[in-house]
Every structure is written in structure tokens, then in C-alpha cells.
Amino acid sequence: MKRIEASETVGDIVKTSPARSVVFERWGIDYCCGGKMSLMEACAKRESDIDLVLGELADCDSHSESVREHLFTEMSLGELCDHIESHHHAYLKMNLPRITKLIDKVNNAHGKKHPEITELATVFTEFRSELELHMGKEEKILFPAIRKMMQTQPFEHGRHESIENMLRVMESEHETAGNALLVIRGLTHNYAPPADACNTFRALYTALADLELDMHLHVHKENSILFPAALDREHAHHLTRQL
């Protein structure tokens, strides 16, 4: 595997080898919504030692090089849409209601002593509502449009909104979700439960940490793989229609 350059974007670094996401998670480097930032810029933003990060990435590559990873770039766009729905959307549909129940339970029991949980409840309610609307747009509008475009007939721009416009909206909503996750991480002190936390309290923080990890992978697959490929395909259809 070729040497990683500091000028490469963090999204492309993970796109080449998904296992590298573990390194970025450890250093708190955003490779999904912030995927267009260079590694050098991302490390400067986090005040992280770029040489140490590059070293960990190289170690990650050396350990995973002999193991064949399934690269999502090898999937067709339709297959990638199916994967996102069956894995990440299914995960969210199961876990968003579960986390809501955990927050309510912890807030009722510990909200007076831990007012940050009351604030967390407000932030998470809005986060969940917006994310569920976002998934609905993808499943009912964007993904069907991408699948149709991949068929033999070109996408009919006169009757439908262009995919490029839809992608702009989706990326903006990804950024909003990413900002909410940062607030949630702050309110939970990096998902570190307080000393007096009960088992439900600890389960809540574990669930929120898992949610953040899944969201980072989810958004990375869309922002860095699916969306650019769909945009390239739509532009290719434009050129074909003009010839």
C-alpha cells in the first residue's frame, strides 16, 4: 500500500482502506463531514502530532495489508445504497428509539443531580427527528433516483430534481448531524460516565459512543464514496445527452 501523504484528504485516506478509520477515531479526527480536509489541516485543527498519526496509519496498513478488506468502492452504486439502508439505516431505526428510552430513564432518575442529561435529552430529540427525516429523503427520493440513473435510461432531469441538488442538501444535513454529535460528546464528557452512574447510565453512554462511530462510517460512505460517484455518473449522463 502506498505511503500516505499529509496533503491527502482524510476522506480519501479512509476510502482507500476503511480500517484506517480506527486511527482517526482514536485521534478524534473527523473523516466523514470533515472528509475534504487534508490530513495536515485535520491534525492542526485537533492539535495532534501529524508524525504520530502517520505512524499509526502506517502500522494499521502493515497489520491489515495481508487481510483482504471489502472495499465499498468496488460496489455498484445500487449495491452501496442497499448496503447503507440494510446496515446503517437499520441500525439507526433500531437504536434511536432505544437511546431515547435510555435518556428518558436516566433523566428521570438523575436529571436533578446531572442537569447535562436534561440538556442531552433536548439535543438528542432534535438530532433524532432530523436524522429520521433525512433517512426518509434518502430512501424515498435520493436512493431511488440513483438506482434509476444506473439503469439503461438516463435520469430525466425535466421531471425530477437533479441528483447534484439533492446531494448538496444531504451533505448539509450531514454537517448538522455531525455538529449535534459534537455537542452530545461534550455533554457526556467524551462518553465518560460519572462516578455515581448506574448501569443504565453507563449503557446510555456506551450506546451514544457506538452511535457516533456508526454515524461516522455511515456519513463517510455517503460523502466520500457514494455521493461523488453518483455526481460523476450524473455529469456523464449530461455529456451523453449533449452529444
62-88: pLDDT as tens digits: 765 444 445 788 889 999 999 999 999
Query: Using CA atoms, how far apart are residues 16 and 37, in angstroms rounded to an integer?
Result: 16
Distances from the Cα of 1 to the Cα of 8, 44, 60, 77, 239, angstroms = 14, 25, 11, 25, 34
Quote the CA–CA distance of 68 and 150 in Å, as a whole number. Answer: 27
Write down the pLDDT at residue 63. 63
Q: For residue 164, what is its C-alpha cell?
A: 447534484
pLDDT of residue 238: 58
CB 33 within 8 A of CB 78: no
What one-letter code names the amino acid at 117? I
User: Which residue ranges in the chain fall short of pLDDT 50?
Assistant: 65-69, 155, 157-160
CA distance 122 to 125: 5
DSSP E strand boundaries for 90-175: none
Backbone angles phi, psi at 9, to 5 degrees: -75, 150
Q: Report the C-alpha gap between 64 and 56 in whole angstroms.
A: 12
DSSP for residue 194: -
pLDDT at 66: 41
Q: Residue 226: what pLDDT?
A: 95
Report pLDDT for 72. 82
Phi, psi of 196 (to 5 degrees): -95, 15
pLDDT of residue 69: 44
Report the pLDDT value the prediction gives residue 234, as an integer from 0 to 100.
85
d(CA 220, CA 224): 5
Residue 70, pLDDT score: 55
Which pLDDT score is estimated for 68? 42
pLDDT at 179: 96
For 24: left if phi > 0, alpha if psi spans -120 to 50, otherwise beta; the answer is alpha
Phi, psi for residue 38 in degrees, rounded to 5? -70, 160
pLDDT at 161 (0 to 100) = 60
* Per-residue model confidence (pLDDT) at position 240: 57
- Give domain limits for the chain: 10-64, 74-242
